[in-house]
Structure 1
Amino acid sequence: MATSTSTARVAIVTGGSRGIGRQVVERLAAEGYAVVVNYRGNQAEADAAVQAARAAGGEAIAVAADVADETAVAALFDTAEQEYGGVDVVVNAAGMMALAPLADLDLDNLDRLLRVNVRGTFAVDQQAARRVRRGGAIINFSSSLTRFARPGYSAYAASKGAVSAITLILARELRGRDVTVNAVAPGPTGTALFLEGKDEQTLARMAAEPPLERIGTPEDIAELVAFLAGPGRWVNGQVLYANGGAI
């Protein structure tokens, strides 16, 4: 693989082929980042994200990796370093959701969810903690559902509560490294996955909850990620709830 001579800041975005991750890829590319778009299985979506990043003004490549597989994650970081010379920003946007009342949830689904959301965040953060350069940032994804306490979301909210805990502790473990660690905790955000299966009445009810009276957009979340990745150097060890004031 050829090594780029680019001096741009370099970002790895897990789950970067769709949803909020895809928007983060485009937003960072517009800031001039070289972006490594991580994806699990859909190469066509990942390739589309790469093309969008390049169109936005950045460099980009797509790299497949299971975020819960520590060997694959190490190889992902290896590729970023070989291609672009190092890693400055890591955005953990990969995740999955399993919804059911606690009493009814299939524990195999719980295991799969925890593997991606908790082990995946841990494995990626482990490599990030070892490799992110000075002046860099690690940005995890928690969820406002840790506060909303909505029935049916116990497994998902528990996994995101774990992400919040990992974030706060890692920020303190990286004392002296000049690397910030924060988590973004979105509320309802209008991705294709979120909108699927919801009728207009449900969406209207959710839009009415925040004082800003709308559902969030992937662009709203990507803007916050870009701030934490770049100018927001004095924000560290925080979970930022991005939900329009719903809580």
Structure 2
Amino acid sequence: MASNDLNGKVALVSGGAKNLGGLISREFAASGMDVVVHYNSDATEKDADATVDAIKGLGRNAIAIQSDLTKANNVAALFQQAKDHFGGIDVAVNTVGRVLRKPIIETTEEEFDQMMAINAKSAYFFIKEAGLHLNDNGKLITIVTALLAAFTDGYSTYAGGKAPVEHFTRAAAKELSGRGISVNNIGPGPMDTPFFYGQETPERVEFHKSQGMGNRLTMIEDIVPIVKFLATEGRWITGQTLFANGGYTTR
């Protein structure tokens, strides 16, 4: 996709039904893209259907696909279904993740395995399948976390699960560069979504707000323009993690 124009292109957005993923899906459609909206749980089906309807209301085509992406075969099937339906994929965005705030000494083996599967394993195989299925000059973007540049307690399995994605991304950027495919991460600060508030006390919420510009959390509306930038004018950026967090962390 050498052109900066997204019109007529195809996007696959994992976790694309609601919150950040849902807004990415809708904004891609508003830019003229057809969208594959992935979602994980039965509870999200209505959100996925609503997002598909919104995309169709914008005059674009969309399908919703439910899948547990912690299974490599499921990731492969998701990309194959998307490719079979639309004929190709130009942009793949992975927003899948799970947050857990818990001290290491209280973390169970089951929690560790689950967090690694959701945050690291699913990202690895999403990158793999994108490498196999993206059109030449495609764009691959993974949402990670600003905690990758933090020195803090409690988030060992969340930040630890996202940390390997930077290495996956660098390797993929080199391996796919011959086909003109860029591979990048975006690390938002704590986002004003239900995923964040379930892990924090009111006092810690106020602390997190105090660390960002304007004394506020990252909004999903802050991140979507950066996703679109990487999918268009930012095509010369590859192998990078962009910390989009209002100054919350840096390195």
TM-score (norm 1): 0.92
Cα 1:46–1:181 change in 2 (3 A) is same
Counterpart of 1:25 in structure 2 is 25
- What SS class does the counterpart of residue 233 from structure 1 fall into? helix
Cα distance in structure 1, aligned partners of 2:201 and 2:116: 28
Q: Which structure dedicates a bigger proportion of its chain to helix?
A: 2
Q: Does 1:123 align with 2:122?
A: no
Amino acid at match of 2:185: A
Counterpart of 1:38 in structure 2 is 38
* Offset of residue 58 of structure 1: 3.1
Counterpart of 1:228 in structure 2 is 230
1:206 to 201, 205, 208: 208
Cα distance in structure 2, aligned partners of 1:40 and 1:97: 15
Counterpart of 1:69 in structure 2 is 71
Residue 17 of structure 1 contacts residue 38 of structure 1 at CA under 8 Å; is this kept in 2?
yes
Equivalences, count: 241
Task: Deviation per CA, 1:130-171: give whole Å up to 9, x if none.
Answer: 111112100012211111222110111111111111111110
Counterpart of 2:160 in structure 1 is 158
Q: Does 1:11 align with 2:11?
A: yes
Amino acid at match of 2:114: R
1:167 to 166, 169, 173: 169
* Offset of residue 33 of structure 1: 1.0
Cα distance in structure 1, aligned partners of 2:214 and 2:166: 25
Amino acid at match of 2:126: V
* Offset of residue 197 of structure 1: 6.1
Residue 49 of structure 2 contacts residue 64 of structure 2 at CA under 8 Å; is this kept in 1?
yes
* Offset of residue 10 of structure 1: 0.6
Amino acid at match of 1:236: T
Query: Which has the higher mean CA deviation after the structures are superposed, 90-99 or 53-62?
Result: 53-62
Alignment gaps of 5+ in structure 2: 1-6
Residue 101 of structure 2 contacts residue 199 of structure 2 at CA under 8 Å; is this kept in 1?
no
Amino acid at match of 1:174: L
Counterpart of 1:89 in structure 2 is 91
Amino acid at match of 1:35: V
Alignment gaps of 5+ in structure 1: 1-6
Cα distance in structure 1, aligned partners of 2:59 and 2:212: 34
**What is the RMSD of the two structures over their aligned residues, measured on CA atoms?**
1.6
Cα 1:206–1:98 change in 2 (3 A) is closer
Task: Deviation per CA, 1:53-102: give whole Å up to 9, x if none.
Answer: 23345321101111122222222112211211101111111111222111
Counterpart of 1:4 in structure 2 is none
Amino acid at match of 1:208: S
Cα 1:102–1:233 change in 2 (3 A) is same
Cα distance in structure 2, aligned partners of 1:199 and 1:156: 17
Amino acid at match of 1:75: A
Amino acid at match of 1:202: R
Cα distance in structure 2, aligned partners of 1:17 and 1:211: 28
Counterpart of 2:4 in structure 1 is none
Task: Deviation per CA, 1:89-133: give whole Å up to 9, x if none.
Answer: 111111112221111111110101111111101111111001111
Cα distance in structure 2, aligned partners of 1:197 and 1:153: 10
* Offset of residue 212 of structure 1: 3.7
* Offset of residue 30 of structure 1: 1.2
Amino acid at match of 1:184: I
Task: Deviation per CA, 1:190-247: give whole Å up to 9, x if none.
Answer: 1122234655543332222123432111111111111111221111110000101122
Residue 141 of structure 1 contacts residue 163 of structure 1 at CA under 8 Å; is this kept in 2?
no
